[in-house]
Structure 1
């Protein structure tokens, strides 16, 4: 079977790494100077590891039913691990409000979807960024910048410049899951690879790590839908 992968080169990168994203795409992150032939040799040497990752149960698979629901009164949407009822308000409301339910202005469906997405992004900035600063202080690491990003197949990432990025969709998950993802990325500032030491650091700072991993395994795909 031919192994397909994409190559992302960077002048700042010194070491080649391979990631298998949740959508089962294989990405090679490589320094500028390395040839395609050398990359192919390295990927070939890692084939068994890559196939193990591709078959991991947490990787993205198509849902058994048609994804997504409509933004109509009576439907529900996730926020911090719980589902809340949607109510379309025909008059007197110019933006989404939340009070134990989502109050959404009556407008075109596309605009409603955009408004809900922007609401989620705003809440992610409001709630995730302070938690990053808290955990960074507890771990004794310095973070250059915290960004809330739109990266459908990764919950978080840590860059070579000590920036940490988090998927806005995380705000739909419970706070113990959000804390786990934050600690996971911050731990990479101490230990780059997933070594036993790395997992010990994560577990010490996020004692509900296994519970969080299980929650993401069972519910992660639902977070990728708008509703």
Structure 2
């Protein structure tokens, strides 16, 4: 069976690593100058592991109410790891509010994707970015900038310029899972590759590391639903 993969080279890397993205794309991260033959040899040696990953169906729990084209009373939305009911209300200012349930103005019911995306983006900036500062301080490191971005296949990323990006959809996950993604990306500022030292840094900072990884593996796809 043919195994397709993409090679991404970086001058910061010292070792070759292989990742399977959540869209099932196989990506080989390699230092600049490593021969393609060596990359192919490593991929071939990991074929069984890669095919197991690629054929492992993602598990997730769908929301209690299937999304439609327009918001209606009684639908549900995921926020910080919990499912909350949506209630359409009269709101002259047109703002979405949260009070044990998501209160959405009747006037905006037909804008389901945009309304909830804007609300999630605002909450992500409000809750995730301060956690980045906190964990960076605890790790004794600094970064250039942290941003909330829109990425379909990555929860977080770290750029060569020490900038950090976090997917706004993370705000649907529980805080211990959000903290894991944050610490994971910050740890890359100390150790670029997924070495034993890297994982020691993450686990020392975040005792709930394994719990978070399991949660994201089992529920990750539910974070991508519109509501």
TM-score bracket, normalised by the shorter chain, equals: 0.7 to 0.9
Match of 1:25 in 2: 25
Q: Deviations over 1:66-108 (max 9, x none)?
A: 9952332101111111111101225535121111111112246
Q: 1:216 to 1:59 in 2, by over 3 A?
A: farther
Match of 1:163 in 2: 163
How many pairs were matched up? 222
Over aligned residues, Cα RMSD in angstroms?
A: 3.1
Alpha carbons 1:169, 1:224 under 8 Å: kept: yes
Mapped pair 1:46 → 2:48 = no
Q: Give, in whole Å, the separation in 1 of the partners of 2:111 and 2:87.
A: 15
Q: 1:91 to 1:45 in 2, by over 3 A?
A: closer
Q: 1:97 to 1:50 in 2, by over 3 A?
A: farther
- Structure 1 stretches of 5 or more lacking a match? none
Q: 1:126 to 1:54 in 2, by over 3 A?
A: farther
Alpha carbons 1:104, 1:112 under 8 Å: kept: no
Match of 2:174 in 1: 174
Q: Give, in whole Å, the separation in 2 of the partners of 1:59 and 1:92.
A: 48
SS of residue matched to 1:46:
helix
SS of residue matched to 1:152:
coil
Q: 1:154 to 1:195 in 2, by over 3 A?
A: same
CA-CA distance at 1:149 after TM superposition: 1.1
Q: Give, in whole Å, the separation in 1 of the partners of 2:210 and 2:220.
A: 14
SS of residue matched to 1:198:
helix
Mapped pair 1:123 → 2:123 = yes
Q: Give, in whole Å, the separation in 2 of the partners of 1:64 and 1:134.
A: 31
CA-CA distance at 1:31 after TM superposition: 7.7
- Whose RCO is larger (CA < 8 A, sep 6+)? 2
Alpha carbons 1:19, 1:27 under 8 Å: kept: yes
Q: Give, in whole Å, the separation in 1 of the partners of 2:91 and 2:142.
A: 47
Q: Which moved more, 1:195-204 or 1:88-97?
A: 88-97
CA-CA distance at 1:152 after TM superposition: 1.7
CA-CA distance at 1:125 after TM superposition: 0.7
SS of residue matched to 1:19:
strand
Q: Give, in whole Å, the separation in 2 of the partners of 1:95 and 1:112.
A: 13
Mapping 1:46-85, distance limit 5 Å:
46-49=43-46, 51-56=48-53, 61=58, 69-70=67-68, 71-85=71-85
- Structure 2 stretches of 5 or more lacking a match? none
Q: 1:32 to 1:207 in 2, by over 3 A?
A: closer
Alpha carbons 1:24, 1:54 under 8 Å: kept: no
Q: Give, in whole Å, the separation in 2 of the partners of 1:135 and 1:177.
A: 14
Q: Which moved more, 1:85-94 or 1:168-177?
A: 85-94
